[in-house]
Every structure is written in C-alpha cells, then in structure tokens.
C-alpha cells in the first residue's frame, strides 16, 4: 500500500515537472520571436512590449505619459474590434506621392476614403501619431462609419516616422490593415518638403532657393547637434532599429532614414501586410501599382481605360526646378549620409533602393 502510494506520488510529481517544463517551453516560444508568434496581450498594467525605446525620454519626460498611453489603449480596446478598423493605411513617406495614391484608390466604387474634400490634406487624420491620446476610438472610427459595405482607409504621412503609430495600430487593429509605403529618393523628398513649406507661407520673405537652402542648412546642423546630444554616430543608428525621435517632422533628415522606420513597423506587422513601392516606379507605372492595391484589398478589378483615366491626374504637385536649390556641399553631405541607410533598405527589401542613378 505504501509503495503503491509512493509510486503514484512519484508519477504525479514527474507529470507536474513535465507540465512545468512544457509551460516554460511554450512561454519561450511565445516571447522569443517576432510579431507573428507574439500576440500583444490585453493589458492590466503597462505591457512589456510598449516602447520606450532609448530616447523615448522626449515622450516620457513626463512620467505620467507612459501610464496614460497604456490606460488609453486599454480603454479603447474594450470598446472596439479589429473589424471596425479601416482596411488601408497609406503611411508615407511624406512627399512620396501619397495624396495621389489616396485620391486614385478613393475613386474605386468599392472604396471610400474620407477628407477628400480637403484636397491636399485628403485623408490625413494623423490619429495614431498626433491625436491618439486626446481622441477616442469612437471619434476616430465614426469618420468611416457611413461607408458600410465598402473598404475604407486613410492616408497619414506622419505614421511612417511616428514612434508610437505602429504599436498603437497593432494594438487596436491587430494584423488586419494593409499598409502602403511609397519611398522616394530621400534627398529629393527632403527638397520637396521645403518647396511645399515655401509655397504655403502667406508672406514670402525670400526666394525659393534661399528658403530651401536655409532649411537644408538648418536641418543638417540640427542633425549634427542631435547626434552629439545622443552621443551617437549616424553609422551606429544602422544597428539601432529602435532609435526613434518623438518629433520626427522637425528633422527632414531623420524622415528619410527609411530602414529605421520600416524596421520599427516590421516589429508589429507581418511583411505580407505591406506594399512597399518606390515613388519613381509608382510614377512611371501608376496603373500597374494601383491595380496591385485594388487586388490586395480584394476589390473588383478595373479596366485599363478606367485605371489610366484615374491616374492621369497629379495631386499635390508643384512645378519647380530642384537644381541649385541647396548648396553643393550640403547635397554631398546628405547623399553620403543616406548611402548606408539606402543600402540597408536595399538589403531588407532584397534590392532596388540604392537610388544611385
């Protein structure tokens, strides 16, 4: 009787140990990998995987902000489902041709964009980047609610460079969204931003060349100062996929470091959610890319005539000659700075982003 009891105790003990080992193993798998094996948990408190990244002190310098972020997400999640989420997010890059793409897809009868009446700022809600903590999910989603039965989406160029947007979008929308990124050669992208800023000024005090030149110069010195302050070399950023600036639009140089931004997005979304295109290729073959997006959204195909008609219009386009807008030495500096980042992007995407020619 005693032996019988002892044997059963031993067997139970062994089973218990095996169970514990299995749990540890499963836990390890769960936390080891990337987004696919790791489901963002429902939060009691701040979850382990919420950023902060190293220089999140900009964001979290007020200690309450991290707590505020967690509480806000928790609150919104309880009142939402992934189903309500828009289907499409065009996240950038700024000056990549996003307005045109959003206008094109919005002309498909199975898709409804919003904010299109505002022309240049069509669809730019910036919820997941700028207004997230102030606005409720309901407030955001109501913008799309009149479009039942249609695919919906928005286009906010601030998302690509935002520290928090990928995390927030994943937490609220799961892996549902299709995410489109248009990447333009970064120096040209930067000049285009300054050209736009020049044109939207009410009182222009200088010529376009003076304005752009000054802006680029200021951007470069700000960038050098930032690296000094962070005690980091630009080349070291290549290995810091979590490096992130809270106010990205203040540095047009930073906005063009696409490999850093995409790495941040890839932490939260599977690669198959993305359509990542070069803006110049998009420009040369717009109908082809648009039909790719239409197919990805599961919308009805459009015929070639329709596609060509829709894509024949250029939105948010300004006529200018970019030659001589910035000093030669500044252009050289920028090209050199971007080369390793473009190379990293090329490696990540298996080709095509060196923009050498």
Ligand X SMILES: Nc1ncnc2c1ncn2[C@@H]1O[C@H](COP(=O)(O)OS(=O)(=O)O)[C@@H](OP(=O)(O)O)[C@H]1O
Which residues of the chain form contacts with ligand X (CB under 6 A)?
94-100, 157, 192, 195-196, 279, 282-283, 286, 314-318
- Sheet containing strand 274-278, edge to edge, reads 111-112, 151-155, 88-92, 178-183, 274-278
Q: DSSP labels for 230-262?
A: HT--HHHHTT-TT---SSGGG-HHHHT-HHHHH
184 carries a ligand binding annotation: yes
CB under 8 Å to 104, separation ≥6 — which residues?
A: 286, 290, 310, 311
Contact 154, 89 (CB under 8 A): yes
| Nearer of residues 196 and 234 to ligand X, judged by Cβ | 196
Tell the smallest beta-carbon distance from residue 67 to ligand X (Å): 33
Residues 96 and 279: beta-carbon distance below 8 Å: yes
Residues with catalytic roles: 95
Nearer residue to ligand X within complex by CB, 172 or 190: 190
Q: Which residue has the tokens 């005539």?
A: 305
Which helix (DSSP H) or strand (DSSP E) does residue 179 occupy?
A: strand 178-183
Cα 261 from Cα 266, distance rounded (Å):
9
Nearest distance, CB of residue 97 and ligand X, angstroms: 3
Which residue number, 35 or 102, has a Cβ lying nearer to ligand X? 102
C-beta of 36 vs 317, nearer to ligand X? 317
Q: How far is the CB of 218 from ligand X (least distance, A)?
A: 19
136 is annotated as contributing to ligand binding: no
User: Tokens 């799961």 correspond to what residue?
Assistant: 174
Three-class SS of residue 185? coil
Minimal distance in Å, beta carbon 195 to ligand X? 6
Residues of the binding site: 184, 192
Residues of the binding site for 3'-phosphoadenylyl sulfate: 184, 192
């Amino acid at each position: 009787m005693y032996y019988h009891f002892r044997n059963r105790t031993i067997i139970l003990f062994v089973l218990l140990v095996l169970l514990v080992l299995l749990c540890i193993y499963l836990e390890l798998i769960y936390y080891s990998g990337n987004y696919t094996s790791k489901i963002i948990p429902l939060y009691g408190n701040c979850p382990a995987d919420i950023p902060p990244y190293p220089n999140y002190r900009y964001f979290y310098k007020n200690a309450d902000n991290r707590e505020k972020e967690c509480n806000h997400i928790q609150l919104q999640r309880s009142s939402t489902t992934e189903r309500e989420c828009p289907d499409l997010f065009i996240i950038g890059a700024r000056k990549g041709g996003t307005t045109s793409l959003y206008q094109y897809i919005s002309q498909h009868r199975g898709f409804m964009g919003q904010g299109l009446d505002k022309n240049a700022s069509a669809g730019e809600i910036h919820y997941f980047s700028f207004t997230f903590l102030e606005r409720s999910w309901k407030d955001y989603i109501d913008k799309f609610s009149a479009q039942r039965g249609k695919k919906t989406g928005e286009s906010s160029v601030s998302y690509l460079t935002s520290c928090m947007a990928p995390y927030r979008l994943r937490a609220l929308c799961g892996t549902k969204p299709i995410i489109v990124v248009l990447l333009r050669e970064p120096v040209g992208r930067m000049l285009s931003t300054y050209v736009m800023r020049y044109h939207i000024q009410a009182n222009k005090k200088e010529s376009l060349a003076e304005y752009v030149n000054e802006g680029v110069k200021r951007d470069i010195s700000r960038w050098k100062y930032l690296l000094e302050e962070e005690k980091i070399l630009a080349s070291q950023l290549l290995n810091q996929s979590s490096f992130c600036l809270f106010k990205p639009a203040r540095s047009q140089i930073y906005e063009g470091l696409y490999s850093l931004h995409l790495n941040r997005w890839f932490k939260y979304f599977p690669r198959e959610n993305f359509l990542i295109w070069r803006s110049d290729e998009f420009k040369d073959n717009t109908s082809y890319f648009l039909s790719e997006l239409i197919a990805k959204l599961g919308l009805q195909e459009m015929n070639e005539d329709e596609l060509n008609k829709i894509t024949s219009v250029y939105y948010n386009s300004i006529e200018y000659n970019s030659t001589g807008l910035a000093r030669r030495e500044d252009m050289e500096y920028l090209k050199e700075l971007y080369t390793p980042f473009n190379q990293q992007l090329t490696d990540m995407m298996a080709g095509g982003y060196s923009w050498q020619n």
